[in-house]
Structures are given as C-alpha cells and as structure tokens.
Amino acid sequence: MATVVSSATMSLDGFIARDDDSVGALFDWYSAGDVEVPSANPDVRFRLTPTSAEFWRAWTSQVGALVVGRRLFDITRGWGGRHPLGVPVVVLTHTPPEDWSPAGAEDFRFVTSGIREAIAAASEIAGDGVVAVAAGTVAGQALQAGLLDAVAIDLAPVVLGSGRRYFGDVDPGTALLRDPDVVVAPGVTHLVYRLRPSAEEDAAAGVR
Amino acid sequence: MATVVSSATMSLDGFIARDDDSVGALFDWYSAGDVEVPSANPDVRFRLTPTSAEFWRAWTSQVGALVVGRRLFDITRGWGGRHPLGVPVVVLTHTPPEDWSPAGAEDFRFVTSGIREAIAAASEIAGDGVVAVAAGTVAGQALQAGLLDAVAIDLAPVVLGSGRRYFGDVDPGTALLRDPDVVVAPGVTHLVYRLRPSAEEDAAAGVR
C-alpha cells in the first residue's frame, strides 16, 4: 500500500509562494550546492549541497506518483509533459485541459471526481512506494479527508509576509503529528512528520 | 546593546493560537518531561524534557525584558503581575489599563507611542541582554520596522488549520535569515534564526 506524503518548500511564516505565485528566495536551496541530482526534465536542474542531495535522493527514490492541483499544473504548464521526478502525475481538476499533448502527456492523468479518487489513482500507480501530494489546496483536502500519512516540509530561512499557504485555503482542522525526522542542510531544514494515529486507531493497535 | 528576538511556539502551518486564543496541543511540550524549570509565577509551572530544559535555561538566562501586545496582556490578565520569566514587561497598547495594580505591577510599563519606543524601553532595561518580543502583531511590526535581530520558533508537531499567525495580521514583507540553530527535542523543535544583514549593511561591513 502506498504511503501518502504532502511536500513543499515553505517559508518560516507558512507560505509556499507569494500571491502572484512567485517564490522569491524560497527555492534558493535547489541551487545552493555543487551536487547535481537527476532531473527527468532537461529544463529543470538541481544543484544541491551534499546534505540536501542525500536527503533528496532518499526521498525521490521512494516517490512513485504525484498528485498536484490544477494551479500548479497551469503555473508550470504541466512541466512541458516532463515532471522533473520522472514519475506519473495525477492532476486534480474540474476541467481537464483540451489539446494538451506534449511528448510525455501520457504520464499525466486528469481526475475530476475529487481528492480521494486522485490519491487512489496515484496509489495504484505507486504500488508500495510514496504518493507525493503537492502542498496547497490538494494537500489541505488530503489532510482534511484523513488521507495523509506524513507531512514533509523543506523549511527555508525566509519570511514572505503573505502568500499561499501550505494547506491552501482549506482549514483541515487540528492534526497531531509525531516528532519529525530532521535534516539540517545549508539553506534549508528538511522536516518529515508522520501523522499520529487517531485515538481509535491507537486503541485498535493496543497502544495505551 | 540588547539583542531583539521574537519568540513563540508555532504550529506547522504557522499559527501561534486559534482564533479564540486557545492553543490546543501547541503547548504540550511545556509539560512533556520531568525537569522543572524556574518560574517566577507560582501558578505557571514548566516540566520540560531534559533537552528542552537545557535549551530553555540557555534562552531564558539571556532575556532581560519582554515586549508584548495588549492582546496577550489581556488574555493572561498580565500574568497577575508576575510574568513567569521574572523580568520586566513592556506592553504596547493604545490605552494603558486603569486600576491595574497587583503586586508586581511595578515591573510592567505601558508604551503607547509605537513599536520603536516599546523596544527602546525594553532595550534600556535589558542592557546587553535579550529583548524577547512576543509573536503576533508586535513581532510583525518589529520585523517590518527592521528592529528584529532574530526569530525564534518552537515548532510544535501540530497542524491547527486556522488561527493567529506568528507575525499577526502584519505583512512585514520579505526577510532573509541565516541558517538556524536547531535543537530537536521530544514534542518540539527549537529553531533560532538570525536575520541576514541587508545588502547595504553587508557592503558597509565589507562583506561581498
């Protein structure tokens, strides 16, 4: 069964982009070092510090499919059909794009029925791997629906002041998480938090 | 000269309290261990894990004065005149309270003229120590005015979904910070980020 993990670079004040979708210095860590890590998209290159590169390789080697919202798909123009991670992408959208058929478009699937169906489709692709859910509205919907196993945050040493939040405009309510795995790298702190099982699941598992 | 540091416990999604000022599990780390740390207010006790206690002692030993907003003063009813840290408190408010005279009230000063004057008053008290600025509107105003030397965040493994933000309703604009000092403790990750000098200050100091 796939593990479902939301993921994004986030500012100290909780933003993943400005309101105009620019990211300022948020993504500086993607080019902060000398270690080139693989990208399936020749237009997108990453040059990471050794510490971030090690984290990145471990993380990306697990990812079997992505779930993204329509906004991110539009901003990136569908990565020209080639997502840098080289894995299939499930796009949650009310209206699939017409006439979008770059090379690689066969790796993109458009789901209109909701976040559960989008994550189910991605999970089927990912098998026992990780489904990475892009932060923003889709991540908020996934957390709200109880579909996330973990929340990954690449915390950048930047304050943006305003902008788009990690869980978008969704209020997913309160969620409790376990202590994180922490990797402190130059220009970014990588944090991965697993959700705490609910009290009911704890009881079923014989905990407490 | 005093060092000015904003400080708060914050959720993963950037909130320091819910809209109704409740904090849910945010403050669980204050009672997550067996190490009692000093409190000047007998009604407020802290029982920290050893890791957090060490961080706490190092931090609080430096604090010479606090700057808080009127909201926090009202929520806590001025800590009954005894802030747990046992240091003087400068309250930024449009209207100082009348008839507020518990034992200890002489350690509270009310400043009506603005954030600069509040921090100046606290700095005079703190000497070469730290002025701690409570997160919320006052911290947002302080960052916006270029008065902060560092941003301290006790990051709790909790999503609140909505609530009051670390810099309040203030949009302080973009700020770049250095890599943090990180202490990973059970139930909380302590992060302290120093502001990066502006390009002008870098130039004046002969950097780059």
Residue B83 token pair: 């802030």
- pLDDT surpasses 80 at B205: no
Determine the pLDDT at residue A197: 78
Note whether A151 contacts B167, CB cutoff 8 Å: no
Query: Tens digits of per-residue pLDDT, A144-203?
Result: 999 999 999 999 999 999 999 999 999 999 999 999 999 999 999 999 999 997 655 656
CB B131 within 8 A of CB B64: yes
Is B167 at the interface with chain A, CB within 8 A? yes
CB A93 within 8 A of CB A50: no
Helix or strand holding residue A21 (H, E): none
Contact residues, chain B, for A143 at CB < 8 Å:
159
Question: How far is B77 from B36, CA to CA, in rounded Å?
Answer: 24
Residue B179 token pair: 């890599």
Question: How far is A136 from A69, CA to CA, in rounded Å?
Answer: 8
Note whether A12 contacts B162, CB cutoff 8 Å: no
Contact residues, chain B, for A155 at CB < 8 Å:
191
Determine the pLDDT at residue A203: 61
3-class SS letters over A105-151: HHHEEEECCCHHHHHHHHHHHHCCCEEEEECCHHHHHHHHCCCCCEE
- pLDDT surpasses 90 at A204: no
Percent of chain A with pLDDT over 90: 91
Could you tell me the residue range of the domain that residue A39 belongs to? Answer: 3-204
**At a CB cut-off of 8 Å and minimum separation 6, what does A202 contact?**
A208
Average pLDDT over residues A43-66: 96
Residue A131 token pair: 């489904």
Average pLDDT over residues B6-28: 97
Helix or strand holding residue A154 (H, E): strand A150-155
The residue in chain B having the minimum alpha-carbon distance to the alpha carbon of residue A160 is B174
Query: Tens digits of per-residue pLDDT, B47-72?
Result: 999 999 999 999 999 999 999 999 99
Is B97 at the interface with chain A, CB within 8 A? no
Contact residues, chain B, for A8 at CB < 8 Å:
none
Distance from CA of A207 to the nearest CA of B (A): 18
Note whether B180 contacts A184, CB cutoff 8 Å: yes
CB B158 within 8 A of CB B188: no
- Closest listed residue to residue B85, CA positions, set B44, B47, B128: B44
Question: How far is A24 from A157, CA to CA, in rounded Å?
Answer: 12
Determine the pLDDT at residue B208: 41
Question: How far is B134 from B87, CA to CA, in rounded Å?
Answer: 14
Determine the pLDDT at residue A38: 87
Contact residues, chain A, for B155 at CB < 8 Å:
191
Count Cα neighbours of A121 within 13 Å in the Cβ-side half-sphere. Answer: 21
Nearest by CB to residue A174, choosing from B161, B180, B187, is: B161
In chain A, the number of structural domains is 1
Is B80 at the interface with chain A, CB within 8 A? no
Average pLDDT over residues B74-88: 95
Contact residues, chain A, for B177 at CB < 8 Å:
12, 157-159
Q: What is the domain-level CATH number for residue B166? A: 3.40.430.10
The residue in chain A having the minimum alpha-carbon distance to the alpha carbon of residue B171 is A161
Nearest by CB to residue B172, choosing from A161, A167, A189, is: A161
ipTM rounded to 2 decimals:
0.93
Is B166 at the interface with chain A, CB within 8 A? yes
From first CA to last CA, the distance across chain B in angstroms is: 26
Which residue is listed with tokens 């994004």?
A: A8
Contact residues, chain B, for A189 at CB < 8 Å:
179-180, 182, 191
